[in-house]
Amino acid sequence: MQKIKAVIVDDSAFMRKSLSIILGSDPSIDIVATGRDGIEAISLVKQYKPDILTLDIEMPKMDGLTALKRIMTENPTSVIMVSSLTTEGAEATLKALELGAVDFIPKEMSYVSVNIINIKDDLIRKVKTIVREKALRNRLAKIQKFGGSESSAPVKSTSQILPRIGYKSLALGISTGGPLSLQKVIPRLNGNIKIPIFIVQHMPPKFTQSLAERLNAMSSLKVKEAEHGEIVSGGTVYIAPGGFHMKVKKNLKGEIYIDISDQPADTLHKPSVDVMIKSVFDIYGKNTLGVIMTGMGRDGLEGIKDIKSAGGYCLAQNEDTCVVYGMPKAIVDAGLADVIAPLEKIPDIINMAV
């Protein structure tokens, strides 16, 4: 089996060494070159034609975003950004994902050293999954071309419809490829939607806040990072904060409120789609519409099983428009998807159902 060719570009010698050790520990990955700035990144991609490139954002001579634009134009390559866990780093990372980067990993070594085993396994899994996605470049190009940033985009007729059963909530799980995909869906949701929408996007702290602010600026619905203890309001999109689980509960007055915590502690992802959906289902029952979009892994499968076992409904994104067809595939393979739809149809289907 041919080895995965990887190039690592970072202005920190320590990060270059750390990433080389992490990726090089897997026998199927070959570190073919390393570089220190954006100019070297462009040159190395052209020379080695790697399967995967890890690219720092803040570098001398030429920054990562500038290099990424050039690479995507001249030699399209699967790129994982190395991002600082700051608000500025989050905003730059979201921009990189819009430009065509597939995913990102945190740069802070204090964070990395505490979570080194998880990060090692996660990074290797990401690299292998991304490289296996042979149609990735075409998918990213398709997603970037989808319109719909205007909230007034007209609803198109579609034969793929969900029954109007009087949904009381919508629970959406998404991961790899999510930030760009959500920007093609949330702004196109009808501003008159009255039910709360709960979203888990696998992301570290600070990144979810920047994502929520960006989506809020583009959307008719109010989009915010969920806060512990706040009363749930209809017509609001709640994004789970990175590093914590989001659940909903009822207080003594019967009001539904947001519960943010680090429990359960043994989940693969924090926030977890399963934890969120199961919690939303406990409150809203079969009137919860489950939506599973692009992402690697199977997070969300158990939660959707609960909704379906009670007679509820689920919408899954189709393979052709997913950046990584993992989470929706688990739903489809289990026979739990009532509608399987391309990214550009998802907002229309939701608008007509709720």
Residues recognised as catalytic: 175, 202, 299
d(CA 137, CA 177): 12
Structure tokens at 179: 């930030």
Residues 6+ apart with CB under 8 A from 166: 287
d(CA 276, CA 282): 10
Distances in whole angstroms, Cα of residue 331 to Cα of each of 101, 340, 347? 26, 10, 19
Structure tokens at 229: 């203890």
CB-based contact 36:11 (threshold 8 Å): yes
